């Protein structure tokens, strides 16, 4: 079996307040990504968002999983891909798109065949996948890291100097509701997404990468007045419900990929939680 999937259901914030460490991790942490020769998917009932990975040591096809009740994966969905491994390619209904390290690809609804390939199986591509429901088709488009819209935020003085690379976002790619990008922290900075915020109109997924060996990131979540944390390793993802903040601090600088979907495509639509008011 080359496709593995699991389903996660939505949780009431009042219930989450009572979770212990294991329950919190079981509910929100995605820790089984980037398995060699596998497509691995997690279907979340927050906005029906799918998070996953494909690591092809031989060509891997994106198959429809049972929860979709569809003939093919993108029958009623759109897909975002960012490569975090060796060079590879994605074949989209016969058209080849090459993806180097940290290049992105958007694929619109209605595409019937998506096949993942690595240039060198000994140094395979590691495709990180995000998918959301779609209502119409938009063109497939590659976005190289150099093509991203770059925002310089934060400062070294507050330990959050970072570059936000907006990749699958309005003005670069037309999508139904999916948005994706990559935030790279500068050397000496460890805090991401600070001040923290919530956006009740959208859910979000964070995928952490470039975490040095023997280092970790502490991801913060929960309601602003009732926060929780999850310790995370390289190539792990975490689900952020609409009612939850999403920020983190590492024992070193690192990179994370953010993906979101929901009510609108307004990137700045958020409710900021003041740092001094977090509890």
* pLDDT tens sequence across 198-240: 999 999 999 999 999 999 999 999 999 999 999 999 999 999 9
**Comparing 51-60, 126-135, 192-201, which segment has the lowest mean pLDDT?**
192-201
pLDDT, residue 221, reads: 97
pLDDT, residue 130, reads: 98
Please state the rounded mean pLDDT for residues 268-276: 91
Pick the closest to residue 135 from 109, 107, 104 (CA basis).
109
pLDDT, residue 32, reads: 94
- The band of 264, judged by pLDDT with boundaries at 50, 70 and 90, is confident
Please state the φ and ψ torsions of residue 177, each to the nearest 5 degrees: -150, -15
Please state the rounded mean pLDDT for residues 261-275: 89
* Residues 193, 247 contacting (CB under 8 angstroms): yes
Please state the rounded mean pLDDT for residues 232-257: 98
Peptide bond into 195 cis (omega under 30): yes
Q: What is the pLDDT of residues 73-117, one digit of tens each?
A: 999 999 999 999 999 999 999 999 999 999 999 999 999 999 999
Please state the rounded mean pLDDT for residues 247-265: 96
Instruction: Provide the 10 A C-beta neighbour count for residue 277.
Output: 10
193-215 as b/e, with b when 16 or more CB fall inside 10 Å? bbbbbbbeebbbbbbbbbbeeee
> Is the alpha carbon torsion for 38, 39, 44, 50 positive or negative?
positive
What percentage of the chain exceeds 70 in pLDDT? 100
What are the residue boundaries of the structural domains of the chain, listed by start? 3-277
pLDDT, residue 1, reads: 66
Pick the closest to residue 219 from 49, 24, 41 (CA basis).
24
pLDDT, residue 6, reads: 97
Question: What pTM did the predictor assign?
Answer: 0.97
pLDDT, residue 267, reads: 86
Pairing verdict, β 3-8 and 39-44: parallel
Instruction: Give the CATH class of 3-277.
Output: mainly beta
């Amino acid at each position: 079996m080359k496709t593995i999937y699991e389903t996660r259901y939505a949780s009431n914030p009042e219930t989450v307040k009572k979770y212990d460490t294991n329950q919190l991790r079981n509910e929100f942490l995605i820790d089984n990504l980037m398995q060699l020769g596998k497509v691995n998917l997690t279907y979340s009932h927050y906005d029906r968002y799918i998070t996953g990975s494909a690591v092809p040591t031989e060509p891997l096809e994106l198959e429809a999983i049972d929860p979709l009740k569809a003939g093919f994966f993108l029958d009623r969905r759109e897909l975002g891909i960012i490569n975090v491994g060796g060079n590879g390619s994605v074949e989209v209904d016969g058209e080849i798109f090459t993806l180097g390290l940290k290049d992105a690809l958007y694929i619109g609804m209605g595409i019937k065949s998506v096949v993942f390939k690595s240039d060198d199986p000994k140094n395979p591509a590691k495709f990180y996948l995000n998918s959301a429901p779609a209502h119409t088709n938009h063109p497939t488009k590659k976005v190289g890291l150099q093509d991203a819209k770059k925002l310089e935020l934060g400062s070294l003085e507050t330990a959050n100097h970072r570059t936000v690379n907006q990749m699958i976002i309005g003005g670069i790619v037309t999508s139904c509701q999916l948005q994706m990008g990559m935030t790279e922290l500068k050397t000496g900075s460890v805090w991401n997404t600070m001040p923290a915020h919530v956006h009740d109109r959208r859910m979000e997924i964070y995928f952490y990468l470039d975490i040095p060996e023997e280092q970790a990131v502490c991801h913060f979540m929960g309601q602003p007045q009732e926060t929780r944390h999850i310790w995370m390793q390289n190539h792990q993802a975490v689900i952020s419900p609409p009612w939850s903040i999403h920020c983190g601090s590492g024992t070193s600088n690192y990179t994370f990929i953010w993906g979101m979907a929901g009510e609108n495509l307004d990137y700045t639509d958020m409710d900021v939680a003041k740092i001094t008011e977090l509890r």
